[in-house]
Amino acid sequence: MQYLIKNGLVVDPVNETMSELDILVKDGVIAEMAQNIQAEEAIIIDAKDCYVCPGLLDMHVHLREPGYEYKEDIESGTRAAAMGGFTAVACMPNTNPVADTAAVINHIIERSARLGAVRVYPIGALTKGSLGKELTEMADLKAAGAVALSDDGQPVMDAGMMYRVMQYAGMLGLTVVSHCEDLSLAAGGSMNEGAVATMLGLKGIPNVAEEVMVARDILLAESTGCALHLAHISTAGSVRLVRQAKARGVRVTAEATPHHFSLTEEAVLGYNTNAKVNPPLRRQEDVAAVQEGLRDGTIDVIATDHAPHAYHEKDVEFPYAPNGLIGLETAVGLVFSQLVQPGILTVPKAIAKLCSNPRKILNLPGGQLIPGGVADITIIDPELSEVVDPAKLQSKSKNTPFVRWKLTGLPTLTMVAGQPVMQARRLLK
Amino acid sequence: MYWQRKDLLGLKDLTVEEINLILDTAVPMKEIIGRKIKKTPTLRGRSVVTLFYENSTRTRSSFDLAAKYLSADTIGLAAASSSVAKGESLRDTGLTLNAMGVDVVVLRHPASGAAEYLARYVPAAVINAGDGTHEHPTQALLDLFTIREKKGSITGLKVCIVGDIMHSRVARSNIWGLTKLGAEVRVVGPATLMPPDIEQMGAKVYTDLAQALEGVDVVNVLRIQLERQQQGLFPSLREYSRLYGINQARLELTKPDALILHPGPMNRGVEIDPQVAYGSRSVINEQVTNGVAVRMALLYLLTGGEYNAIPH
């Protein structure tokens, strides 16, 4: 099967350039990139006024399988990813059982190959059961296909343990993805600490609960030389710490989520459990700092922390609701609406954070459209608008705080290995 | 004006007129409590459920008596003995009560926002009888009623709330109500028991009791929960009492006719000295009576009483 993507603006996030080129896709790879390609046998995909990007990768997703398939599974989660313009996702290990053995990693890879609409890269656990007590068999996890290691959802509270984790993971060349939260400071909190929490009578989680661990992990990475990736940083202080660490050459990268650059703690008003997330939505000055961190390159990656929860789990009194919101299907729209259109990020920079940077961190191929390369392609129409409607979401769970938001700038094609899986806002698989 | 709200969830969203309507309606209600035969037919045929997920003797009995004095039928559900113990959700419990034709649900719950959550799902009127550390509006209303009764007006008064502000729903409701009615509100307590940014609710924040008490018209003393010491939020009851206990000497800092309020139950000798608690300035027992009157007023208004004459 051949596809000819015509008239698009091809984005190269590595060199931060854009060029008007046609792309001919043949047998799953990019056969040719040039102006005015003619190919009579090819199916034409018109990308006029659209950005043609290397396939996007969300490096922080919870697919919930195995163990919590009622919230999401590999099939529904990857369909949501395809709808959101992602050709690949990296999934976190806090499943049941935890992905702390090769057997679970193998299971995820096999199920994904069979049922996944997009590529799935499992992340293995740092410690057994993600309990922060014993190292996992990291070499085994890597051999099975784990692309990084994380106890996401749980911080490794013991600094000595985290030190050994980084020594060992660093030896194997695996990136440690850290969930930065000091539980003694966050204890019992269900939203950001501050005036809104005080008014609502909810226990707050202070910024410093995150920043203490960001500082600790940066120091441990500096000491061990391990590559450290900080998941979902949310505070101005964290951004400052990462900026300082990068300036002195620490091997640290960081990600921010669309909800942390789009929403403040005020989204919780009315006890909106769909805005209950960890780390919590912060104040305006933190949102501004995260946006500035994205702009100046301190924050390398935009990842969704897609965390599906069933309706009945969120439909409870606020303190009892689980943390998390879904993000795969709203991410690109939020990036374009909140960052690209206001001029915070250029299109190539935004695409780098959704595509080439996460691949670099996870040591994965791709991230650039080149002749001979695998045809994982995302097309984004910057003018296309949609109002977020839970009924139309592919994810099994509907826990989004962006209901009724009008997002402009949406993916119109998700192509994996030369095959469209989403086209014109409709799933094909 | 007429009462138009379905529920009473907190004082944050009430207008000054609504607060005054409740307080005005409580005046004749108090008169009923003083009668030999404390019964009017006003709410005959109406049903009130007190749904309590936390233990409470005084609030619950206050609501119960308020409903009975107005001839409503009442039942009380305690979480431990109800289907809640079998894992039924608050929403389902509310819907079940609703299906039984209940007119008013009085909810006490450990989760902030629980009353607002329940009110979304049940057509019955929901009265928040304390939700987590969020609001306890009827306690604040009875405090406002008591202050107004004694001082004539609340406008221009200086009111000091002393103690564990962090965990106090009473403090939050008082701040909303008092500031709306024109009082200056000061909150004072140890830094570890002071919620962040509470000044944004309109209160002045102090950690020094002497400064906070200077020239105030009302001192509202909060109960200090002994478990807070176990959580390491203050070092000892002894030190708490030395720094924040309200005693006779400290009262000298206030205006000579300053009132002493306490939502009860008291830890005598800890947050309040017995001499003060039983002294001439204390209105603690009157608060209890006024609590019944205010709750009668609310039951009356929430069940459509604004279209009836106020009972005599």
Mind giving me the DSSP string for B254-283?
A: S-TT-EEE--S---BTTTB-HHHHTSTTB-
Q: Per residue of chain A (429 residues), what is the pLDDT tens digit?
A: 899 999 999 999 999 999 999 999 999 999 999 999 999 999 999 999 999 999 999 999 999 999 999 999 999 999 999 999 999 999 999 999 999 999 999 999 999 999 999 999 999 999 999 999 999 999 999 999 999 999 999 999 999 999 999 999 999 999 999 999 999 999 889 999 999 999 999 999 999 999 999 999 999 999 999 999 999 999 999 999 999 999 999 999 999 999 999 999 999 999 999 999 999 999 999 999 999 999 999 999 999 999 999 999 999 999 999 999 999 999 999 999 999 999 999 999 999 999 999 999 999 998 999 999 999 999 999 999 999 999 999 999 999 999 999 999 999 999 999 999 999 999 997
A339 and A379 share one domain: no
CA distance A399 to chain B (A): 17
Q: Does residue A195 belong to the interface with chain B, where contact is any CB pair within 8 Å?
A: yes
Q: Is A305 a catalytic residue?
A: yes
Chain A positions in Cβ-Cβ contact with residue B201 (cut-off 8 Å)? 195, 198-199
pLDDT at B310 over 60: no
Q: Does residue B198 belong to the interface with chain A, where contact is any CB pair within 8 Å?
A: yes
By Cβ distance, the residue of B117, B169, B198 closest to A271 is B117
Q: What is the pLDDT of residue B248?
A: 96
Residue A366 in any domain: the answer is no
Residues pairing with A45 in the sheet: A5
Q: Are A376 and A84 in contact (CB under 8 A)?
A: no
CA distance to A195, A213, B139, per residue, from B144 (Å): 24, 46, 9
Q: Does residue A199 belong to the interface with chain B, where contact is any CB pair within 8 Å?
A: yes
Annotated binding site of A: 60, 62-64, 94, 152, 179, 232, 278, 305, 309
Q: Does residue B132 belong to the interface with chain A, where contact is any CB pair within 8 Å?
A: yes
Q: List strand residue ranges (DSSP E) for B39-143, in order.
A: 47-52, 73-78, 104-109, 125-131
> CA nearest A313 in B: which residue?
B89
* Contacting residues for A363 by C-beta, under 8 A, at least 6 apart: A147, A173, A175
Q: What is the pLDDT of residue B55?
A: 87
Pick the closest to residue A3 from A29, A21, A367, A12 (CA basis). A29
Residue A401 in any domain: the answer is no
Residue A39 in any domain: the answer is yes
> CA nearest B117 in A: which residue?
A317
The answer to the question of whether B91 is labelled as a binding residue is no
What is the pTM assigned to this prediction?
0.94
A18 and A65 share one domain: no
Chain A positions in Cβ-Cβ contact with residue B116 (cut-off 8 Å)? 270-271
* CA atoms of B202 and B195, how far apart (whole Å): 13
Q: What is the pLDDT of residue A196?
A: 98
Residue A205 half-sphere exposure, CB side, CA atoms within 13 Å?
28
Q: Does residue B109 belong to the interface with chain A, where contact is any CB pair within 8 Å?
A: yes
CA distance B279 to chain A (A): 33
Q: Are A57 and A89 in contact (CB under 8 A)?
A: yes
Q: Quote the tokens at residue B97.
A: 């009560």
Cα angle for residues A68, A306, A382 (degrees, 5° grid) = 145
- Domain tally, chain A: 2
CATH code of the domain containing A421: 2.30.40.10
* CA atoms of B177 and B243, how far apart (whole Å): 27
Q: What is the pLDDT of residue B269?
A: 92
Q: Are A141 and A124 in contact (CB under 8 A)?
A: yes
pLDDT at B311 over 50: no
Residue A124 in any domain: the answer is yes
What mean pLDDT comes out for the span B109-119?
97
Residue A104 in any domain: the answer is yes
The verdict on whether omega for the bond into residue A280 sits within 30 degrees of 0, i.e. cis, is no
Look up residue B292 and give its amino acid: V
Do A201 and B89 count as a contact with CB atoms less than 8 A apart? no
A208 and A88 share one domain: yes
A380 and A247 share one domain: no
> CA nearest A195 in B: which residue?
B197
Do B132 and A270 count as a contact with CB atoms less than 8 A apart? no
Largest CA distance in chain B: 56
> CA nearest B165 in A: which residue?
A198
Q: What is the ipTM of this complex?
A: 0.92
CA distance A368 to chain B (A): 47
* CA atoms of A407 and A258, how far apart (whole Å): 12
Annotated catalytic residue: which of A22, A73, A305, A376? A305
A23 and A99 share one domain: no
Do A200 and B134 count as a contact with CB atoms less than 8 A apart? yes
CA distance A394 to chain B (A): 27
Q: If one looks up domain B137-285 in CATH, what number appears?
A: 3.40.50.1370
Do A317 and B12 count as a contact with CB atoms less than 8 A apart? no
Q: What is the pLDDT of residue B52?
A: 95
Q: Which domain holds residue A380?
A: 2-51+373-396+406-427
Q: What is the 3-state secondary structure (H, E, C) of B9-67?
A: CCCCCCCHHHHHHHHHHHHHHHHHHCCCCCCCCCCCCCEEEEEECCCCCHHHHHHHHHH
Q: Does residue A188 belong to the interface with chain B, where contact is any CB pair within 8 Å?
A: no
Judged on CB neighbours under 10 Å (0-12, 13-18, 19+), B309 is exposed
Tokens 């060029």: give the residue: A19
* Contacting residues for A385 by C-beta, under 8 A, at least 6 apart: A406, A407, A408, A410
pLDDT in tens, A230-276: 999 999 999 999 999 999 999 999 999 999 999 999 999 999 999 99
CA distance B95 to chain A (A): 14
* CA atoms of A257 and A270, how far apart (whole Å): 23
Pick the closest to residue A147 from A387, A346, A366, A374 (CA basis). A366
What mean pLDDT comes out for the span B14-18?
97
Do A201 and B113 count as a contact with CB atoms less than 8 A apart? yes
CATH code of the domain containing A326: 3.20.20.140
Interface test with A, best of B117, B126, B161 (most A CBs within 10 A): B117
Same fold, B16-136+289-303 and B137-285: yes
What mean pLDDT comes out for the span B3-17?
96
CATH topology of domain B16-136+289-303: Rossmann fold (3.40.50)
Annotated binding site of A for substrate: 62-64, 94, 278, 309
Chain B positions in Cβ-Cβ contact with residue A193 (cut-off 8 Å)? 196
In this prediction, residue B87 has a pLDDT band, given cuts at 50, 70 and 90, of confident
Q: What is the pLDDT of residue B231?
A: 87
Q: What is the pLDDT of residue A1?
A: 86
Annotated binding site of A for Zn(2+): 60, 62, 152, 179, 232, 305
Q: Which percentage of chain B shows pLDDT scores above 70?
A: 96
Look up residue A24 and give its amino acid: L
A274 and A249 share one domain: yes
Choice among A129-138, A419-428, B90-99, B288-297 with the minimum mean pLDDT: B90-99
The verdict on whether omega for the bond into residue A279 sits within 30 degrees of 0, i.e. cis, is yes
By Cβ distance, the residue of B12, B90, B197 closest to A317 is B90
* CA atoms of B44 and A174, how far apart (whole Å): 73
Q: Does residue A197 belong to the interface with chain B, where contact is any CB pair within 8 Å?
A: yes
Do B90 and A316 count as a contact with CB atoms less than 8 A apart? yes
Kindly give the residue spans of alpha helices, DSSP state H, lying in A116-235.
Answer: 138-144, 159-172, 183-186, 195-200, 207-224
Do B111 and A318 count as a contact with CB atoms less than 8 A apart? yes
Q: Does residue A208 belong to the interface with chain B, where contact is any CB pair within 8 Å?
A: no
Domain ranges of chain B: 16-136+289-303, 137-285
In this prediction, residue B80 has a pLDDT band, given cuts at 50, 70 and 90, of low
Q: Quote the tokens at residue A233.
A: 């940083």
CA distance A271 to chain B (A): 6
The answer to the question of whether B36 is labelled as a binding residue is no
Distance of CA A193 to the CA centre of its chain: 25
* CA atoms of A64 and A107, how far apart (whole Å): 13
Choice among A81-85, B183-187, B228-232 with the minimum mean pLDDT: B228-232
